[in-house]
Amino acid sequence: MATKPELITSASSLEELVRYMDAGADAFLLGEATYGVRMPGDFTIDMLTEAVKVAKPRGVKIYAALNNVMDNHTVASLPAYLEQLAQIGIDAIVFGDPAILMNARSKAPGIPLHWNAEMTSTNYATADYWGKRGATRVVLARELNMEQVLEAKAKGSLEVQVQVHGMTNIYHSKRPLVRNYMDHQKEAGAKFAEGDHLPIDGVPVGTQEDGMYLIEAERPEERFPIYEDLNGTHVMSSDDLCMIENLHELMEGNVDSFRIEPILKSVEYNEVVIRAYRSAIDAYYEDPDGYEFNEEWLEAIQDVQDPKRELSYGFFYKEQVY
Amino acid sequence: MATKTKPQYTGKRHRLDRPELLAPAGNLEKLKFAVHYGADAVYIGGQQYGLRSNADNFTFEEMKEGVEFAARYGAKVFVATNIYAHNEDLDGIEDYLRGLEEAGIAAIIAADPIIMDTAMRVAPKLEVHVSTQQSTMNWQAVQFWKDEGAPRVVLAREASLEEIAEIKNHVDVEIEAFIHGAMCSSYSGRCVLSNHFTDRDSNRGGCCQSCRWKYDIYEDDIQLFGMDEDKFTMGSKDLCMLENIPDLIEVGVDSFKIEGRMKSLHYVATVVHAYRRAIDAYMADPDNYELKEEWLHDIQKAANRPLNSGFFYDTPGAEDHIYGPEDKAAPYDFAGVVLSYDAETGLAVVQQRNHFKPGQEVEFFGPNGTSFKQIVGELKNEAGEPLDAARHPLQPIVMRVERPVQPMDMMRKRIRP
């Protein structure tokens, strides 16, 4: 029988990391905004060191997020950063930019590399292309359907990771779009509907904590979270992917790793979700043939789900055109 | 157009080799005009693997004709194969790439490494240019693609002049940069708004430009602005680097790329013509180069959005987005193409491309110096019968022109002040 799939998430602090481990997560993607994109919180190298210390004895893996679009400035600091990551015993490096490969070969030899180009990791042949250059795992785009995901595992030679729960990023710009808009409104003398939201120079606007979202006129029910950070502006999906009912399809297909995206969710919510997926994975591997989906797992998630955000199957059962 | 603080590149050194002017061509006719108006190379889309599924993309036969036409001017033809492939797209890539090679295409512009890799393997005469969809903006990634066998990298639109300079200092590879046209406001390829809003796959050509839609913004369930205020958008102004040609040349950009496979014939010819004159003027005499107002005015005649300088000098701010109404039509419209001219009679045959009639102000322009305005006089059809207006698309119209014109010169009419 295939090995039990990994249940991976992220955390914004060491405390959260421990709580999610207790809930059943067995791998973490952690990092800081300079190198990693869309982390729920920054893990400095010191925090990563601690994370590895806490996780190792429990058999939990810590992967470093270096999946940002890199500029010259960032690339200059890569050798030192990679050496540090190698020293503290990180379990894998997650990359999108080829500059990471160029450096990892000499600065972090032997550490597994996971290829994650977000929306553009779309087929197994390209995954194998990166495999030939050192990657051991592909993190597939979330815009693929079930057939494509299963085929990527069956035909490709890398480990396959897919997101199974939570929101997904649907737009990433280097531009500070929230600040730009606020500046424009200020300039235009626009009236703020409530209170004083005028941005103050030097104070970040539209952070993860600010709870901003967009609504498009023809889709009044859908709320698209938006936030800004060091890496620009991120727009997130209005629905939360939830594959718990159909997780067995992915497990039957021997998919190696299931990601729960914890960003913009409470710790309590994430704990419930992790526990539910933990239960499903454990039940399946105890007895694949006798496995039955337990409604309670889904109900537990539904109980904590924001009613204004739909639980969906994402693109798993969708036909797309172009 | 905002003029920003210029870095120190201007005047420091003089580049000797002329950069390439690379123009889009949505169909064969646009290809011919782009080349005739001064493009050193054009990029087109084929029937598969390109990101403009709505453009009238080229068949292999049309590609061959395009390649032959371009060759007469010493120009090259590139094909955009810039999708991110899904599993089911993989079958057929080899045959398609061999077809491009066989058609005489000089290069593909590819984003997905499996397409690059396949091209190098099965169609070695095709150069592989790494697409902007890869969002390459550091020198080590550029070095990586060079090592993989790509002679050219199209940088991310987010790269600044300073960053381009650093890349050129580190790696000896051709650098292509977008200098004009519409821009993704996201990192190219890092946007699936269309997938989420309309089930259309943006990275396989289904983009429906949701970034240009208007949105209400909320914080903690409170709508931040009233209904009468400008709405939030991600839509960007269009790029225009015509005022900054010396900086781009001296920083070492090898290919100046104009966006717009979906743009009109008139747009492509006008924009190419403006950049051609600017580049040639600078290369001919860098010390005494001066931007001509006329070039900028010409660009405005075809522009349909306000313009800016993207990320070249600074990260775009509030002034670089379009919060008000979108797509203001250009003040001029394409009216006709010169088919022939008789110097003795002063009569030209002009193929109708949009309605025009006696009394209207029109402007003739062309790559070989044609540039004048006149009022439209008497119009006749080819049989010599008088016409009250040129009403029929593609109809040859005989009209008097006040100065000599040449075949493929264009006539535009003013549609608003």
Report pLDDT digits (tens) over B90-130: 999 999 999 999 999 999 999 999 999 999 999 999 999 99
Which B residues, 260 through 289, put their C-beta within 8 Å of a C-beta on chain A? none
- Contact B190/A at CB under 8 A: yes
Mutate to test the interface with B, among A73, A115, A140, A170 (most CBs of B within 10 A): A170
Question: What's the pLDDT band for A194 if we cut at 50, 70, 90?
Answer: low
pLDDT at A196 over 90: no
Minimum distance, in Å, between the CA of residue B139 and any CA atom of chain A: 6
- Contact B94/A at CB under 8 A: no
Question: What's the pLDDT band for B417 if we cut at 50, 70, 90?
Answer: confident
Nearest in space to A150 (alpha carbons), one of A253, A21, A262, A33: A253
Minimum distance, in Å, between the CA of residue A15 and any CA atom of chain B: 26
Instruction: Map residue A203 onto helix, strand or coil.
Output: coil
Q: Which domains does chain B have, with CATH numbers?
A: 20-190+234-320 (3.20.20.70), 332-414 (2.40.30.10)
Minimum distance, in Å, between the CA of residue A152 and any CA atom of chain B: 8
Minimum distance, in Å, between the CA of residue A150 and any CA atom of chain B: 11
Gap between the Cα atoms of B107 and B122, Å rounded? 13
A287 residue type, one letter: D
Contact predicate B82/B203, CB 8 Å: no
Q: What is the ipTM of this complex?
A: 0.96
Give the max Cα distance, chain A. 65
Nearest by CB to residue B141, choosing from A97, A144, A318, is A97
Only one residue has tokens 């690379």, namely: B22
pLDDT tens sequence across B343-365: 999 999 999 999 999 999 999 99
B269 residue type, one letter: A
Question: What's the pLDDT band for A319 if we cut at 50, 70, 90?
Answer: confident
The residues that bridge with B414 in the sheet, in sequence order, are B332
Q: Is there a contact between B139 and A216 if contact means CB atoms under 8 Å apart? A: no
Q: What is the mean pLDDT of chain A?
A: 95
- Contact A210/B at CB under 8 A: yes
The pLDDT of residue B5: 40
**DSSP 8-state symbol, A300:** H
Gap between the Cα atoms of A46 and A202, Å rounded? 27
Provide the percentage of residues in chain A whose pLDDT is more than 90: 91
pLDDT tens sequence across B400-416: 999 999 999 999 999 87
Structure token digits, residue A70: 């890199």
Sketch the domain layout of chain A as residue ranges. Answer: 6-168+237-312, 171-236
Only one residue has tokens 């269309």, namely: B194
The pLDDT of residue A191: 83
pLDDT tens sequence across B158-183: 999 999 999 999 999 999 999 999 99
Distances (CA, A) of A142 to A119, A247, A257, B25, B181: 7, 15, 14, 33, 30
Q: What are phi and psi of B296, to 5 degrees?
A: -65, -40
Mutate to test the interface with B, among A130, A180, A222, A309 (most CBs of B within 10 A): A180
Minimum distance, in Å, between the CA of residue B326 and any CA atom of chain A: 16
Instruction: Map residue B58 onto helix, strand or coil.
Output: strand
- Beta-strand ranges (E) seen in B155-261 are 174-181, 215-219, 222-223, 238-240, 255-258
Chain B residues with beta carbon closer than 8 angstroms to that of A131: none
Nearest-by-CA chain A residue for B219: A212
Which B residues, 122 through 151, put their C-beta within 8 Å of a C-beta on chain A? 133, 135, 137-141, 143-145
- Count the residues in chain B: 417
The mean per-residue pLDDT over the stretch B148-167 comes to: 97
Chain A residues with beta carbon closer than 8 angstroms to that of B236: 175
Pairing of strands B107-110, B127-130: parallel
C-alpha dihedral over A200, A205, A207, A209, to 10 degrees? 60
Higher pLDDT, B79 or B6: B79
Nearest by CB to residue B318, choosing from A172, A183, A193, is A183
Chain B residues with beta carbon closer than 8 angstroms to that of A78: 140
Gap between the Cα atoms of A194 and B223, Å rounded? 8
Gap between the Cα atoms of A9 and A164, Å rounded? 10
The pLDDT of residue B221: 84
Question: What's the pLDDT band for B22 if we cut at 50, 70, 90?
Answer: very high
The mean per-residue pLDDT over the stretch A231-244 comes to: 98
Minimum distance, in Å, between the CA of residue B100 and any CA atom of chain A: 21
Question: What's the pLDDT band for B86 if we cut at 50, 70, 90?
Answer: very high
Gap between the Cα atoms of A208 and B151, Å rounded? 41
Instruction: Map residue B337 onto helix, strand or coil.
Output: strand
**DSSP 8-state symbol, A177:** H
- Contact A178/B at CB under 8 A: yes
Which B residues, 71 through 90, put their C-beta within 8 Å of a C-beta on chain A? 84-90
Q: Is there a contact between B195 and A75 if contact means CB atoms under 8 Å apart? A: no
Chain A residues with beta carbon closer than 8 angstroms to that of B315: 174-176
Which B residues, 216 through 245, put their C-beta within 8 Å of a C-beta on chain A? 216-220, 222-226, 229-230, 232-234, 236
pLDDT tens sequence across B284-318: 999 999 999 999 999 999 877 899 999 999 999 99
Contact predicate A128/A90, CB 8 Å: no
The pLDDT of residue B297: 94
Alpha-carbon radius of gyration of chain B: 22
pLDDT at A38 over 80: yes
Chain B residues with beta carbon closer than 8 angstroms to that of A191: 225-226, 229
Gap between the Cα atoms of B173 and A89, Å rounded? 36
Nearest-by-CA chain B residue for A184: B318
pLDDT tens sequence across B242-291: 999 999 999 999 999 999 999 999 999 999 999 999 999 999 999 999 99
User: What is the second-level CATH architecture of the domain A6-168+237-312?
Assistant: Alpha-Beta Barrel (3.20)
Enumerate residues 6+ apart whose C-beta is below 8 A from A145.
A315, A316, A317, A318, A319, A320
Angle formed by the axes of helices B113-122 and A124-132, nearest 10°: 80
Provide the percentage of residues in chain A whose pLDDT is more than 70: 98
pLDDT at A94 over 90: yes
pLDDT tens sequence across B30-58: 999 999 999 999 999 999 888 776 666 89
The pLDDT of residue B8: 44
pLDDT at B9 over 80: no
pLDDT at B6 over 60: no
The pLDDT of residue B416: 79
Question: What's the pLDDT band for B327 if we cut at 50, 70, 90?
Answer: low
Question: What's the pLDDT band for B85 if we cut at 50, 70, 90?
Answer: very high
Nearest in space to A34 (alpha carbons), one of A10, A83, A70, A72: A70
Q: Is there a contact between B216 and A238 if contact means CB atoms under 8 Å apart? A: no
Provide the percentage of residues in chain B whose pLDDT is more than 70: 95
